[in-house]
């Protein structure tokens, strides 16, 4: 089975986010008021093959821990959806 | 009203993604097979004040066009949710 995966990588709460702070500071002078708490993360999308959803999710979470994120400062949120009509690969 | 906003910034289809390609090439040697189509984007979260959802969304989409994304090579997907219990700010 083939799954579409979306991994959102966020900085953990409390970890400084200089990129987000810079955006937040710049906004009022560009005419946008009322924006607070800007946090910038990564969004990684890919497809993965697995026997079932549980094993695909386990593989993706292992990938997150090992090299898509830095678990000391980042959290990952994994979304998996079955991608039908993706078969016929042989 | 206060809204929680999530902006996902993705490279447009067809635009080369060297970061995603590098991840994809590295995966098999790290023991992860069957992963294809890796695309890396940005995920920006913040809160915004607006009179109603339509005006808040219009402001966020204007921000996206003007400086959160490069519209030549990137698409933005905006998700807005009303953040209740965020009042009492004065």
ipTM rounded to 2 decimals: 0.83
pLDDT tens sequence across B64-88: 998 899 999 999 999 999 986 544 4
Per-residue pLDDT at A85: 52
Facing A42 at nearest CB: one of B42, B50, B67: B42
Q: Are B12 and B49 in contact (CB under 8 A)?
A: no
Between β-strands A35-49 and A74-82, what pairing exists: parallel, antiparallel or unpaired? unpaired
CA distance A90 to chain B (A): 14
Query: Is-contact A80 A56, C-beta < 8 A?
Result: yes
Q: Does pLDDT of A88 surpass 90?
A: no
Contact B44 A41 (CB under 8 A): yes
Is the per-residue pLDDT at A16 higher than 90?
yes
All domains of chain A in start order, with CATH: 2-14+41-82 (3.30.1280.10)
Buried b vs exposed e over A35-50: b needs ≥16 C-beta within 10 Å?
Answer: beebbbbbbbbbbbbb
Interface contact B42, partner A, CB < 8 A: yes
A83 confidence band (pLDDT: 50, 70, 90):
confident
pLDDT one-digit tens code per residue, B23-68:
999 999 999 989 999 999 999 999 999 999 999 999 999 999 988 9
pLDDT of residue B47: 96
* pTM listed for this prediction: 0.85
- pLDDT higher than threshold 50 for residue B89: no
Are residues A46 and B38, on separate chains, in Cβ contact within 8 Å? yes
């Amino acid at each position: 089975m083939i799954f579409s995966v979306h991994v959102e990588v966020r900085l953990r709460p409390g970890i400084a986010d200089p990129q987000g702070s810079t955006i937040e500071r710049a906004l009022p002078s560009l005419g946008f008021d009322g924006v607070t708490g800007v946090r910038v993360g990564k969004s990684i999308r890919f497809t993965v093959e697995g026997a079932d959803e549980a094993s695909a999710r386990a593989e993706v979470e292992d990938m997150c821990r090992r090299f898509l994120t830095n678990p000391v400062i980042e959290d990952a949120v994994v979304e998996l959806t079955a991608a039908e009509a993706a078969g016929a690969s042989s």
